[in-house]
Chain A
Amino acid sequence: MHNTQYLIIGNGAAGATAAETIRRHDSDGEITILTAEPYPMYSRPGLAYVLINEIPAKQIFCRTLAWYENLRLNLTLGRATQLDVVNRLVWLADGRSLPYDRLLIATGARATPPPYPGHDLQGVVYLDTFDGTNELIERSKRARRAVVVGGGITALEMSEGLAHRGVETHYFLRRDRLWSRVFTDEEARLLEKVMCAHHVHIHYNTEVSEIIGDRRGRVREVKLKDGSTFKCDLLGVAIGVKPLIDLVQNTPIQTDRAILVNEFLESSVPGVYAAGDCAQVYDRWTQQHMVDILWPSAVAEGAAAGLNMVGKRHAYVKGSPFNACLLFGLHITTMGQINPGRDDEVVKVVQHISRGSSEVWYTHPRTYRSAWAGDGENTLRLVINGDFLVGAILIGEQRLADPLRYLIEQQVDIRHLRADLEAGGETLKQSLLRFWQHIEPVSAAV
């Protein structure tokens, strides 16, 4: 009997974690990681910190080539173009083919290009790959004026980075509220204040309809929906991401917005698994298959996929989606379901999900109530469903992040706290702190 051949397409959080997990349980298996980018694994969320100049580019490589060697992982450069699930073969763009016994598709997602003319001009930039980020940084050195479009974290990070690099930065928003799928008006105003202090010019209700280039094919200006034009030499685009699932087109593998997988991360074709940004995984919070574009989700899914691929049946339980980020010096933590609740905002297409977010955040609350505490510098909003907390968002002060995460993930019955929480303000905060000290005997005993 030959050693099991594992093929992993994708060298990101999901792919590398799966490879490591497989090696831990199968010392003889042949593990191949196919990557389309000529680098060892790097931190995609870290790209924002490279752009903001917090760290040098080389710092985001989080595995060395020695790591691959030590674990005997064959890191292969190439682009998978065709999948033959009958003969269990993956064909590459250069004509090679790779056989497999177990296949993991962990191709991730890429930034969606703008849907209007001119998106192929030089100066249309994205923050989704190492090469793309380097191009963005190079171009920012010569750029005088940049426009950033997109409604999520990535667009905000991009405008922060460009402003820090001394480019006159204009942030265009289709709606009248920052990060409108997540923030309420109060939360948005808090961020608006710090963005203005960082010299980002915010333009509400402004939508690009066309990118116009000069004779040499570089961005010269953008045309807006109202007919006017706006001069700029850089257009940062972060309007959402698209799972890379071209490989499974024309195969029996079922897809929706991404590759549909069961709780064992297995697709509709036995032996073929998917994890990370390109997988749509069953979620207990919404009881639907959901796409998460979050690094920790990709790591957890990769680990679970690895276990199932070596034959250890392991049901993956999706945690409540959680993300902490730092925008313009402001700490923002989002967890669970936090839709601010506008009737016109329902998830329809995956294009709207951006890097660093989860579809679960935007799902429509039904009979949920919310509680609020804010003091101008910091805000805290809870989403309550009956006797349970289902979501929370904290801006600024993060002291309550851990207790809230515990309450949400462990589905703690908060009946006796509810009146305090719904009272909001200081009562809410004090009540949570007292509760945390009570359930954490460790810290209370010190």
Chain B
Amino acid sequence: MSAMLLIRKLLTGAPQQPVQTLELGRVVADASRCVQCGVCGYNCPVGIPVRDYARQGLPVDNPACIACGNCVAVCPRGTLRWETAAHTLVAERFAQQMGSREPARED
């Protein structure tokens, strides 16, 4: 559903449909690919500063994220990736088993 359509429906009180989502999950970033061009944030329909997450290599854990996948699709450098909730869960469990929840930092 387009953002305009969504807004119109909210304003007119038309019966609401759930916003379409790809699937449960989150956008994750590979900081070493990011060049901070800002194409991601510019294309975000809810205005999340995606590049600030990407710079720090953090997942885009923003409550406003509607999981539309726009930022992943437009990134010219392949920095962003969609990670499913199942993947996150397994990754965390795996990290726990390996004894390191956080990747070691150099500094």
Q: Interface residues, chain A, CB within 8 Å of chain B? A: 13, 21, 24-25, 43-46, 49, 54-56, 59-60, 62, 295-296, 300, 303, 307, 312, 314, 319, 322, 324-326, 331, 333, 398, 401, 441-443, 445-446
Contacts and interface: CB of A to CB of B under 8 A. Distances in A.
A60 B38 contact: yes
B36 interface: yes
Contacts of B94: 441-442, 445
Nearest to A316: B106
B16 interface: no
26 contacts: A21-B107, A24-B107, A45-B37, A46-B37, A49-B39, A49-B76, A54-B76, A55-B39, A56-B42, A59-B39, A59-B41, A60-B37, A62-B38, A62-B55, A295-B35, A296-B34, A314-B107, A319-B32, A322-B32, A324-B77, A441-B94, A442-B90, A442-B91, A442-B94, A446-B87, A446-B90
B51 interface: yes
A303 B41 contact: no
B39 A54 contact: yes
B78 interface: yes
Interface in B57-107: 74, 76-78, 84, 86-87, 90-91, 94, 106-107
B36 A59 contact: no
A59 B78 contact: no
Interface string B15-33: 0000000000000000011
A46 B84 contact: no
Given A62-B51, A324-B78, A398-B78, A55 B38 contact: yes
Contacts of B107: 21, 24-25, 303, 307, 312, 314
Contacts of A307: 107
Nearest to A327: B76
Contacts of B33: 296, 322, 324
A314 B106 CA distance: 9
A46 B38 CA distance: 7
A326 B55 CA distance: 19
B36 A43 contact: yes
A326 B106 contact: no
Contact of B35 (A25, A296, A303, A333): A296
Contacts of A21: 107
A296 B34 CA distance: 7
B90 A295 contact: no
A400 B74 CA distance: 19
A60 B84 CA distance: 30
Nearest to A43: B36
Nearest to B33: A324
Nearest to A45: B35
B42 A296 contact: no
A325 B77 contact: yes
A296 B87 contact: no
Given A45-B37, A46-B35, A398-B78, 14 more contacts: A24-B107, A43-B38, A45-B35, A46-B38, A49-B39, A56-B42, A59-B37, A59-B38, A60-B38, A295-B35, A296-B34, A324-B78, A326-B76, A326-B77
A17 to B, nearest CB: 9
A326 B35 CA distance: 13
A442 B41 CA distance: 29
A445 B36 contact: no
Contacts of A295: 35-36
For the complex of A and B, list the 9 residue pairs with the smallest distance between their C-beta atoms, beginning with the closest: A46-B37, A326-B76, A45-B35, A62-B36, A43-B36, A295-B35, A59-B38, A324-B77, A43-B37
Nearest to B38: A59
Nearest to A25: B107
Given A59-B42, A307-B107, A325-B77, A443 B36 contact: no
A21 B56 CA distance: 13
Contacts of B90: 442, 445-446
B39 to A, nearest CB: 6
Contact of A49 (B37, B41, B87): B37
A297 to B, nearest CB: 10
A319 B107 CA distance: 17
Given A62-B51, A303-B107, A312-B107, A446 B37 contact: no
Contacts of A442: 87, 90-91, 94
B30 to A, nearest CB: 8
A37 B14 CA distance: 51
Most A CB contacts (10 A, CB to CB) among B35, B39, B41 go to B35
Interface centre among A24, A326, A333 (most CB of B within 10 A): A326
Nearest to A41: B36
B20 to A, nearest CB: 23
